[in-house]
Amino acid sequence: MLEVSDLQVRYSGIQALRGVSLNVGAGEVVALIGPNGAGKSTLVNAVSGLVKPAAGRILMEGRDLAAMDPWAVSKSGVIQVPEGRQVFPQLNVLENLQLGETALQGRPPAGGLEDVYDLFPVLKERSAQLAGSLSGGQQQMLAIGRALMGAPRFLLLDEPSLGLAPVVIAQVFAALRKLKSRGMTILLIEQNVRLALDLADRAYILDQGKIVLSGTSQELAADASVVAHYLGVMSE
């Protein structure tokens, strides 16, 4: 479904991505893991059209996303849940969700508001509350719900566990598992490797702008170097 080939991104001289290639098939959940500053968010932003690559191609079902404006990318059904939630604090929960519908433009909605409220009941309770007054976990749920309102065919999740309490992370990932069981295609960025490998079918490990390892989640979870580098002493 998504094919990234030899992607290079530079920020005023600094090379953030040095020729990254990866692919995500329809219905697959693929994780992109790696340390801080590896270029994970840069890759997501390049796919979203927010960052223009210096070289390489980002093909989504044959269309080159790199040549499109960010709003055109999301209207084509490739929707990002940004790192750090980034809800609109001065708008209420419902208004935030309704903004997510902007990406529809002619495409039929997936489950709409009811589906989002079903997935995250707390959003229904708080629909009239300003998004800025929600807790971090609720904001993350709102950010995911907002993206779902645009009926994504391809969901980009940038660090959904960032800064959340373990019990809230479990809730967010339970919802993601539900999305996966429905056949949603997802590219998941995570620093929490155990969590990522648990959810994903396959994973890529990005380090200093390059893919250093890839494989199925089981393979990577069993890989001695992955365990040593990313799972550390917490592995059993």
Partner 1 sequence: MNAYVLGYLPLFDLFLLHLGLAYSQWLVLRSGVFSLATVGVAGVGAYTGGVLVVTYGLPAPVALVAAAIGGGLVSLLLAIPLARLRGVYQAIATVAFIQIMLSLNNYAEKITGGAAGLNGIPKVVDTLTLAVCALATIYLMTAITGSRIGRAFDAIRQNEAVAASLGVSIEAHHRLAFIVSGALAGFYGALEAFHSYTLVPSQFGFPFLIAILSYVVFGGRNTIWGPIVGTALLIILPELARPLAEARMLVYGLLLILTINFLPKGVADTLIERIHAKRLRAKPAPAPAPTAGS
Binding site for partner 1 (CB under 8 A): 48-50, 69-71, 73-75, 79-80, 82, 86, 88-91, 95, 98-100, 102-105, 121-122, 125-126, 129, 134-141, 146-147, 150, 163-165, 167-168, 171
Pick the closer one to partner 1 by CB: 137 or 217: 137
Report, in Å, the least distance between residue 217 CB and partner 1.
26
What are the backbone dihedrals phi and psi of residue 64, each rounded to the nearest 5 degrees, phi first? -85, 105
Which alpha helices (H) appear in the chain, and where do they start and end?
40-48, 70-75, 93-100, 112-119, 121-125, 136-148, 166-181, 193-199, 217-222, 224-226
CB of 3 to partner 1, least distance (A): 20
Question: Nearer Cβ to partner 1, position 146 or 202?
Answer: 146
- Is the CB of 9 or the CB of 221 nearer to partner 1? 9
Asked if 9 and 53 touch (Cβ cutoff 8 Å), the reply is yes
Shortest reach from residue 18's CB to partner 1, in Å: 24
What crossing angle do the helices spanning 136-148 and 93-100 adopt, rounded to 10°?
30
What is the closest distance, in whole angstroms, from the C-beta atom of residue 156 to partner 1 in the complex? 9
For residue 94 the two structure tokens come to: 């419902």
Strand-strand pairing, 154-158 and 78-81: parallel
Nearer to partner 1, 19 or 136 (CB): 136
Tell me whether residue 88 or residue 117 sits nearer to partner 1 (CB atom): 88
Give how far Cα 136 sits from Cα of 54, 149, 164, 186, Å.
Answer: 35, 20, 7, 22
The one-character DSSP state at 145 is H
* Angle, in degrees to the nearest 10, between helices 166-181 and 112-119: 140
Least Cβ distance, residue 225 to partner 1 (angstroms): 32
